[in-house]
Amino acid sequence: MAGINSKTKLLFKLLKTSLSFGIEQIALIWSDRLGRIGLIILTIMIFVGIFAPVIAPSGPHEIYRYPDGTLKRMEPPSWAHPFGTTIFGKDVLSQTIWGTRVTLKIGAIAGIICVFIGTNIGLISGYYGGLIDDILMRITDVAYALPFLPTAIVLVAILGTNQWVVILVIAALLWRTSARTIRSNVLSLRNRPFVEAARNAGASDLRIMYKEIIPNLLPLIFLFTAFSVCWATIAEVSLSFLGFGDPSVVSWGRIIFLAFAGQVMRIAWWWFVPPGFAITLFVTSCFYIGHAYEKVANPRLETY
């Protein structure tokens, strides 16, 4: 019984800490004018993605027909179909809403993995220095040398177009910038008095890195998280537009790809404009949120 109570107390403590930390981050973003705009847009998009089955008029693959049984091909926007229909008789509004869930999931997961990899590589490289630093930075140089889109296309073509493969490919190629920046900041922190004090007190390297140094890098890490989600989303849209996205799901990039493949983009503007506008809104919201963290990571921006 005592063991259960201690676990329950620990769980509540973790939940309380997480909630407090989340509120602090929201307050930080809300304190910036552009951050507020970005947070509102992102919240709306997350809401749309979560409740897509309730909000969308139909499923993403549902086909509409006229009373005589013919497909509702290329129907322009109307009350029945506010965003019109595709050449396959599918509702563009429904596809755009369902695409919110898929695109946000791929962009967010890939972006977070990118920052996780880059942060750990930069932290280890900057803290230990020497041979470890040389090896990790040479690996980073190789990653920089790889052109993203051609390399991603080759990897996806080899490994498959499953959305999890797309996530891993994006994450494996986009961590390099965060690794470089985190390393440079760790180099300036590793010899600070608070780190020396922890080292003299007998703290292990892992404790110093993750308990002493990482908290001082959180604004920078969150900044790169916001930007990495943007880059990952654009990367997913690019791969999908080129036909290398997961064909079993509907994403914003795939909607535009199908419009382009149908060679109707000049006449059926309603097919590709909504997902294109949604991509612009989402990426802009992430950059606005990143702007709030950028002002914390670089206080000199307050003067501009």
Per-residue pLDDT in tens (0 to 9) along the chain, 304 residues: 445 566 677 677 767 766 776 787 788 788 888 889 999 999 999 999 999 999 999 888 899 988 888 888 888 898 989 998 998 889 999 999 999 998 889 889 999 999 999 999 999 999 998 899 999 999 999 999 999 889 999 999 898 888 899 999 999 989 998 999 999 999 988 888 888 888 888 888 899 999 889 988 888 898 888 889 999 999 999 999 888 888 888 899 999 998 888 777 778 888 889 999 999 999 999 889 888 887 776 665 554 4
Domain segments of the chain as ranges: 42-289
The distance between the two most distant Cα atoms of the chain, rounded to a whole number of Å, is 83
Is there a contact between 282 and 42 (Cβ–Cβ < 8 Å)?
yes
Q: Environment class of residue 70 by beta-carbon count within 10 Å: exposed (0-12), middle (13-18) or buried (19+)?
A: exposed
- The pTM (predicted TM-score) of the whole model is 0.84
CATH of 42-289, picked from 1.10.3720.10, 3.50.80.10, 3.40.50.300, 3.20.20.70, is 1.10.3720.10
Residue 32, number of CB atoms within 10 A of its CB: 19
Is there a contact between 294 and 278 (Cβ–Cβ < 8 Å)?
no
